[in-house]
Amino acid sequence: MPVSICHLNEGHAAFAAIERARFFKEKNKVDFWDALWATRAGNVFTTHTPIAAAFDTFSLELLSKYGQRYANSLGIDGDELLALGRENPNNGQEPFNMAYLAARLCARINGVSQLHGEVSRRLFQPLYPCWPVQEVPVTHITNGVHVPSWDSPHADRIWTENCGKKRWLGTEESLCDAIMQLSDQDIWQFKGNARADLVAYVRGRLARHLGQRGEDGESIQVAKSVLDSNVLTLGFARRFTEYKRPNLLLHDAEKLARLLNDSEKPVQLIIAGKAHPDDRLGKRYIKQWADFIHRDNVRQHAVFLEDYDIGVAQELVQGVDVWINTPRRPWEACGTSGMKVLVNGGINLSELDGWWAEVYEPELGWALGDGQEHSEPEWDTTTAQQLYRLLEEELIPEFYRRDEAGLPRQWIQRMRLSMAKLAPHFSSNRMLREYVEKLYIPAQRDYKNRAESGAECAKALVRWQARIHIYWQNIHWGNLRVVQLGELTQFEVQLYLADISPQDVQIHLFADAPDDKQQPLLVEMQRGDSIAGSSNGFMYTTSLKINRPVDHFTPRVVAYHTDAKVPAESNLINWWSGERQLSDELAL
């Protein structure tokens, strides 16, 4: 069966898109560039990393050694293959970057959260020199989780009774109302049962590990009595590495110990995680936690689970009351661990990073940080202090604020809102639907258009690109005249297109966004009269209402073809620069 869509999950897989073009080339008897333009329309690239240093790169020597024979099979020169993986295709000293290769082979690119989309546009901007960062062609689709893999038996029962067995097989809009109708008693009962299951699991696992290590019988008996199924339970589990700041909660170990030992409002903590074998700092973090939980005044209230794996993760997200996440913004591209507690009535206490940054509201959970990026070491101290304050002044008191029936009504309402608003939205149902509707269906349509009829559309795009590349450097601007016409301001600019057809370009009037929350203003300028005495020179005009100074607005010319994705497939752009001619009627 012919493949319409090729989805590259991170840059590691980029050569699959090259191979797809090679297969298309051989099957359809076209050259490599025709095949690349045809297949690129059906390629989607999802990037996951929030830092450029995480992109896979390879030395030119390595690629030259193994790539020349492959380039020959493609019918291109080895340097042409290498150029596809460089920021500057003409810089023979650059290493080969797999993320850049993937970007050049795919007509559509997305990050995995709203914030990660913004970060990725900055990371990939070098591929689109002179383009505003907001127009770098990277969109986003926030990750979701396969909810049935993570809900507890108690959560599954309550969701099934209220939302039906097929609740995760369709759209999620109707689930919110059903969960909002749950009684306080039902919510608190299912959460209490799940917490008790988690405590029993932790006791058994801890005792088993102690026995395997040859610990004495007394220690094993003590392990069977750790934690309390009626106590506020915090969970923290992840890969132990520096940017995740796994020891932020240990910043003031004495304060943490006091919180755990409070006789009226006790807290218990379950931690799990692993460090990469070569990550010395990560292993040091684990040792610090091990030292802390073995303190006499802590060992009954805090547990570190060894051999962290998906089974441990399932138990944790099903039973904890609060999931803590402390990455250094914006290094958590999305993060899904906090999504997995939602269906189970867990509440998030997380840095404003990844998925949490786009949905946090005070009634749904708690937020760390100020929503900005900080590189200074002192900021970790500030965030740790904020974490302790939230625990001590807000989170713990709310959990233990009970009515005459013994129910924490405010806490239960927070659980209800989190379950209703967030759990359905961060399911794989919503995520997959967005991929299909926003990326797969348009990509399939474009691929079909380019591939049919002997790839005539793709061949036309190759000719279009070659034509405009030859003459692009010969484009130049004339005067820009600005005239006030009543309430409208008219912008009129002279443009000389050299040997490029006016149909192969678009001329825009551009104004940058006044703040980060708005989009740039972009208005297409219309071609008017030819410039007297010129060859292929034209006047371009547009009129609009403005409430900003005229020097905020700049004309530009970009490559244009009805079937091309600009700037994803052609990054050509030329900005006007010069003196604005303001008419006497213009109110300055």
- Distance between alpha carbon 242 and the CA centroid of its chain, in Å? 20
Instruction: Kindly report the CATH class assigned to 174-425.
Output: alpha beta
Q: Where are the domains of the chain?
A: 6-142+433-454, 174-425, 475-582
Distance CA 569, CA 567 (A): 6
> The tokens of 94 are what?
């650059």
Distance CA 563, CA 299 (A): 65
> The tokens of 119 are what?
């970060």
Maximum distance among all alpha carbons in the chain?
A: 100
Q: Is the pLDDT of residue 584 over 60?
A: no
- CATH number for the region 475-582 comes to 2.60.40
Q: Is the pLDDT of residue 328 over 80?
A: yes
pTM beyond 0.85: yes
pLDDT one-digit tens code per residue, 295-324: 989 999 999 998 899 999 999 999 999 999
Distance CA 31, CA 76 (A): 9
> The tokens of 358 are what?
């786009």
Residue 507 near residue 523 (C-beta atoms within 8 A): no
Contact partners, residue 312, CB within 8 Å, separation at least 6: 205, 237, 272, 305
Q: Is the pLDDT of residue 557 over 60?
A: yes
pLDDT one-digit tens code per residue, 1-47: 578 999 999 999 999 999 999 999 999 999 999 999 999 999 999 99
pLDDT at 1: 58
pLDDT one-digit tens code per residue, 439-480: 999 999 999 999 999 999 999 999 999 999 999 999 999 999
pLDDT one-digit tens code per residue, 193-248: 999 999 999 999 988 887 887 777 777 787 788 999 999 999 999 889 999 999 99
Query: What's the mean pLDDT when you consider all of the chain?
Result: 93
Query: Bridge partners of 267?
Result: 232
> What is the DSSP pairing of strand 347-351 with strand 505-511?
unpaired
Distance CA 207, CA 211 (A): 6
* CATH H-level, domain 6-142+433-454: superfamily: Glycogen Phosphorylase B; (3.40.50.2000)
Residue 302 near residue 269 (C-beta atoms within 8 A): yes
DSSP assigned state of 269: E
| Within this chain, domains 6-142+433-454 and 174-425 share the same CATH topology | yes
Q: Is the pLDDT of residue 168 over 70?
A: yes
Query: Bridge partners of 557?
Result: 507, 574
pLDDT at 578: 79
Q: 71-110 as b/e, with b when 16 or more CB fall inside 10 Å? A: beebebebeebbbbbbeebeeeebbbbbbbbbbbbbbbbb
CA distances from 111 to 5, 45, 159, 282, 371 (A): 18, 9, 31, 27, 19
pLDDT at 587: 41
Least confident span in 65-74, 154-163, 238-247: 65-74
